[in-house]
Amino acid sequence: MFPTPIEKRSRAAQVTYQTLLPLALIMWLLPLIAVMLFSIRPFSDFGAGNYWGVPSSFEFFNNYGRVFFESDMPRYLWNSVLITVPTVIGAVALSCMTGFALGVYRFRGNLLIFFMFIAGNFVPFQILMVPVRDLTVNIGLYDTKLGLVLFHIAFQTGFCTLFMRNFIRALPYELIEAARVEGVAEWRIFWYVVLPLMRPAIAALSVLIFTFIWNDYFWAIVLTQGPNAQPVTAGITSFNSQFVAQYHLMSAGSIVAAIPPVAMFFLMQRHFIAGLTLGAVK
Amino acid sequence: MATTTLDPRDGPTWMQRNRMTVTPILFLLPGMLFFAVYVIIPIFQSFNISFYRWDGLGEATYIGLANYEELLTDRNFEISLWNNVKWLVLYLLAIPLGLFIALFLNQTVTGIRLYKSMFFFPFVLSQVVVGLVFSWFYLPREGLLNGVLTFFGMETVNVLGDPDLATYGIIAAGLWPQTAYCMILYLTGLNAVDPEQVEAGRLDGAKGWKMLWYVILPQLKPATFIAFVVTIIGALRSFDLISIMTNGGPFGSTRVLSFYMFEKALSEFGFRMGYGSAIAVVLFLIMLVFIGYFLWQMWQDEREARR
């Protein structure tokens, strides 16, 4: 193990390490801790210049209550759910299929198609912006959740295909061959042999895509406007103009907007990290 | 179950004879269709639009290379391009920083798993929230940064209000989640480092830096490659933070190409789709250099895997 395990070092080194850890963490999360502290303060503290002292009263329920009951925040959150969940299902379903095709079959152009998916996944969004917006307007899906979902599914298929194809490549190929010898139809091999083995990949990818899509801001402002369809990342800017300079409410609002992906991460940590670090080890 | 496919009375159908060609095509079709319509074709359309003058609604007028000629003398384009260079170079700091934190956290003391998660989780926050968090952190009066500076008797700074500082302030905010990402890549890599090689290195007297450089880093190469890819892409995609933290200001000093393109094509400054597309094409070509390099590397790996 590198660096040398701290248990093998001197007592002094161990004590130093144990004190440094929490200090380093506090430093690391300092900007976020500041926002959390803001979000439980009363408004009067800001007028009095009491930014970092003890709050004059504890307003957690009051502030967060106002976020939920006096703004469009719940609508935006719900929009985010209605955009994110179908995208996850769509992108994962499509890429299970593309990944299967590219990972199992040998045919001319296999690598070319695979690399096209990878390359497409890396392009800057701006090169797609004008035509995609135009297309969405023309098919009447501008400012709808569906318009956003369709684009997200298509774009995420690039990354998901990369992921799924590499995962399937690592599966034991003998299983598929054995099934073929038995005369099992190809689509049955996909459904009954490969798909059950892909469960960990599906879980990892779902958590990752959920986070990516929930956090998307660029496409939200390009393809939607207003509280009918906008997800919370875009909605938070209107929220902030509703409560301009009321830092206690704006802080609470942004924490609420951040909670779903954070919760998803802490609940599904193993899958999340497995997905994110795929390929980091050979 | 499978008797229907293996009935000896009728010969194999066309579908059965060609199943090894037909199946992959059918499985690829929906994904490729989506990807072509929303990603591949729009790239070419953008190239095409960049030769036109178009407000997005009326008729488009073909103007040849005029948009690109205008770029050459556009001062704001130049500023954006320079800022992109700053982003690219400084964003790469996330890689050594991430490695440093990973080395710091690669221990087995109690509670270390929670520490690792807590160090990682800024990555899960949306860039919008990161942008808001940091713009409040930098606030001249209410911000914690100036609170700390005042506490230590130093002069306060208005990071986002100063044209010379603002871009660096935004990059610092971007480095926060990006470092977390690189850290988790390296933690995973360190986990897989071959303990025998480390022991052998120790016996040969390698310690500290030497051990890191000659024994550990070569084994972390796959992690470094991915860290490099995601950091470069992240740097060139920077948009959300700029839009949230400064909206391009002060005096347009924090624009990058992605943001300037959006401003030209879709904001209150006018709907110049052609000019915006020309900016996007330039950004795309810059990205293409890196994409080409990444694909080349991956292709090498594929060839090795086949042998």
User: Dihedral angle at the C-alpha atoms of B127, B131, B134, B138, nearest 10 degrees?
Assistant: 160
User: Is A82 strand, coil or helix?
Assistant: helix
Contacting residues of B for A113, CB less than 8 Å apart: 28, 32
Q: Per the CB < 8 Å rule, is A1 touching B294?
A: no
| Residue B10's pLDDT band (cuts 50, 70, 90) | low
Q: What is the C-alpha to C-alpha distance for residues A78 and B28, in angstroms, rounded to an integer?
A: 32
Helix, strand, coil shares of chain A, percent, nearest 5, are 75, 0, 25
B 112-141: CB under 8 A from A: 115, 117-122, 124-129, 132-134, 136-137, 141
State both tokens at A44. 């009067």
Contact call for B119 and A31, based on CB within 8 A = no
Contact B137, A34 (CB under 8 A): yes
Mean pLDDT of B179-202: 92
Q: Please report the pLDDT score of residue A119 as a whole number.
A: 94
Whether A237 has its CB under 8 Å from any CB of chain B: the answer is: yes
Cα A77 to Cα A263: distance, rounded to the nearest angstrom = 14
Domains of chain B: 2-49 (no CATH), 74-306 (1.10.3720.10)
pLDDT at site A212? 94
Q: Across chain A, which distance is largest between two alpha carbons, in Å?
A: 79
Interchain proximity B198–A131, CB inside 8 Å? no
* Chain B residue closest in CA terms to A251: B133
Residue A277 or B94, more confident:
B94
Q: What is the mean pLDDT of residues A261-276?
A: 91
Helix (H, G, I), strand (E, B) or coil at B62: strand
Out of B34, B143, B258, whose CB is closest to A94?
B34
Residue A153 has pLDDT above 60, yes or no: yes
Q: Which CATH architecture has domain A72-276?
A: Orthogonal Bundle (1.10)
Residues of chain B found within 8 Å of residue A158, distances taken between Cβ atoms: 35, 39
The answer to whether B105 and B119 have CB atoms below 8 angstroms apart is: yes
Give the mutation candidate from A46, A80, A127, A194 for the B interface (greatest B CB count, under 10 A): A127
Inter-chain touch A154–B261, beta carbons under 8 Å: no
Model confidence at A77: pLDDT above 50: yes
Query: What CA–CA distance (Å, rounded) separates B84 from B131?
Result: 18
Residue B32, both tokens: 């490729």
Model confidence at A89: pLDDT above 90: yes
Task: State the angle between helix axes of A145-169 and A110-122 in degrees (0 to 180), rounded to the nearest 10.
Answer: 130
How far A167 CA sits from the closest chain B CA (Å)?
14
Q: What is the mean pLDDT of chain B?
A: 90
Crossing angle, helix B273-306 and helix B221-237, to 10 degrees? 170
Residue of B nearest to A49 (CA): B142
Give B89→chain A minimum CA distance, Å: 18
Band (B7; pLDDT cuts 50, 70, 90): low
A134 has a chain B CB within 8 A of its CB: yes
Segment B270-274 mean pLDDT: 86
User: Would you put residue B153 in left (φ > 0), alpha (ψ -120 to 50) or beta?
Assistant: left
d(CA B132, CA B145): 14
C-alpha B276/C-alpha B279 separation (Å) is: 5
Q: How confident is the model at residue B8 (pLDDT cuts 50, 70, 90)?
A: low
Q: Work out the minimum CA distance from A247 to partner chain B, whole angstroms.
A: 8
Contact A124 B222 (CB under 8 A): no
Q: What DSSP string runs through A180-230?
A: HHTT--HHHIIIIIIHHHTHHHHHHHHHHHHHHHHT--HHHHHH--STTT-
Judge whether A27 is closer than 8 Å to chain B, CB to CB: no
Q: Which chain A residues are within 8 Å of B262, Cβ to Cβ?
A: 126, 129, 218, 222
Q: Which of B46-50, B182-186, B256-260, B269-273 has the lowest mean pLDDT?
A: B269-273
What is the C-alpha to C-alpha distance for residues B83 and B75, in angstroms, rounded to an integer? 12
Give, in order, the Cα–Cα distances in Å from A22 to each of B92, B108, B172: 26, 15, 22
B-interface mutation test, from A87, A105, A130, A244, most B Cβ less than 10 A away: A130
CB-CB contact of B291 with A123 (8 Å): yes
Determine the angle formed by the axes of helices A110-122 and A73-104, rounding to 10 degrees.
160
User: What ipTM was reported for this prediction?
Assistant: 0.93
Average confidence (pLDDT) over B216-245:
94
Residue with tokens 């490659």: B225
